[in-house]
């Protein structure tokens, strides 16, 4: 029997992803690698700083302790803002361009039902926007360096390397009722490798996020600073917690103009 001779590009880009059960990568690669590609018009949104809206956001807040969340509600100006290097901004802009391209392809190829889908939970004062949804699952696009993408083979690798992205996925599922997120990884340098896999719902983690949000809302209503057991290096309250006790923090909150 004759053995099919596939080109390395076809084998790597389309055949192997199909064998791994990937549903997005093969049609995307076929579409984007077509020499007769007819062009597209995309709109790239601004990545400008999000104005304060008093809401908990999936991209940022699932990792925060109730104390930090409570201060975010009552005295956001006391939190230390995240600082970005110029190259971080450029990376985010490049990521936005790729998001717009891939979301255009999703709709063109009918791989998604909708893109930029808002999720919200009024009870927990929280919101987020998923990149896309398709039959029974959320889709999230993540762009990264080729070297990094090659180190991620499984959902577990992804979760270990990007715990914030994992919590973002759980928070989307918590609010939306979806119970799976399909992650599409794209390397934005040659040869533009792509991978995809599915993250399942983690009910315990979702309950932890939900409880933290509710505790913070109640603490803000009672004007009581929650106790905090653990300490996260990235916590925006770190300078306050390091230099003063709870009573002093609350005096600062009450005394600000
Ligand atoms: S700095 Fe540490 S103790 Fe203070 S709120 Fe953040 S996690 Fe809690």
pTM for the predicted model, two decimal places: 0.91
Atom of ligand 1 minimally distant from the CA of 241: 4
Q: What is the DSSP letter of 255?
A: H
What pLDDT score does 257 carry? 59
pLDDT tens per residue across span 27-76: 999 999 988 888 889 999 887 778 899 999 999 999 999 999 999 999 99
Report whether 196 contacts 22 (CB < 8 A): yes
Looking at every residue in the chain, the average pLDDT score rounds to: 92
Angle, helix 203-222 to helix 163-176, in steps of 10 degrees: 80
What pLDDT score does 8 carry? 74
- Ligand 1 atom 7: residue of nearest CA: 231
CA–CA dist 123, 223 (Å, integer): 19
CA of 243 to the centre of ligand 1 (A): 12
CA of 195 to the centre of ligand 1 (A): 36
CA of 237 to the centre of ligand 1 (A): 6
Cα distances (angstroms) measured from residue 31 to each of 7, 19, 95, 194, 241: 17, 18, 19, 13, 52
Closest alpha carbon to 142 in 186, 194, 196: 186
Query: What CATH code is assigned to 54-255?
Result: 3.90.320.10
Q: So where are the chain's domains?
A: 54-255
Q: Would you tell me how many other CB atoms lie within 10 Å of the CB of residue 43?
A: 6
> What does the block give as tokens for 83?
């600082």
Report whether 69 contacts 56 (CB < 8 A): yes
């Amino acid at each position: 029997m004759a053995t099919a001779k596939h080109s390395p590009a076809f084998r790597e880009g389309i055949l192997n992803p199909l064998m791994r059960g990937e549903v997005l990568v093969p049609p995307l690669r076929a579409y984007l690698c077509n020499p007769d590609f007819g062009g597209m018009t995309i709109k790239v949104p601004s990545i400008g700083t999000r104005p304060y809206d008093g809401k908990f956001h999936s991209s940022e807040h699932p990792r925060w302790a109730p104390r930090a969340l409570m201060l975010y509600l009552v005295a956001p100006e006391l939190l230390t803002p995240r600082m970005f290097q110029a190259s971080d901004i450029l990376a985010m802009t490049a990521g936005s361009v790729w998001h717009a391209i891939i979301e255009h392809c999703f709709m063109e190829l009918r791989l998604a039902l909708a893109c930029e889908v808002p999720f919200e939970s009024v009870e927990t004062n929280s919101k987020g926007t998923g990149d896309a949804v398709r039959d029974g699952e959320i889709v999230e696009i993540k762009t990264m360096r080729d070297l990094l993408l090659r180190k991620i083979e499984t959902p577990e690798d992804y979760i270990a390397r990007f715990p914030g992205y994992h919590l973002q996925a759980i928070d989307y599922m918590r609010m939306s009722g979806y119970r799976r997120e399909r992650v599409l990884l794209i390397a934005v340098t040659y040869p533009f490798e792509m991978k995809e896999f599915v993250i399942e719902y983690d009910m315990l983690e979702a309950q932890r996020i939900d409880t933290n949000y509710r505790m913070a809302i109640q603490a803000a209503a009672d004007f009581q600073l929650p106790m905090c057991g653990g300490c996260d290096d990235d916590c925006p309250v770190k300078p306050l917690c390091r230099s003063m006790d709870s009573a002093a923090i609350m005096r600062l909150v009450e005394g600000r103009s």
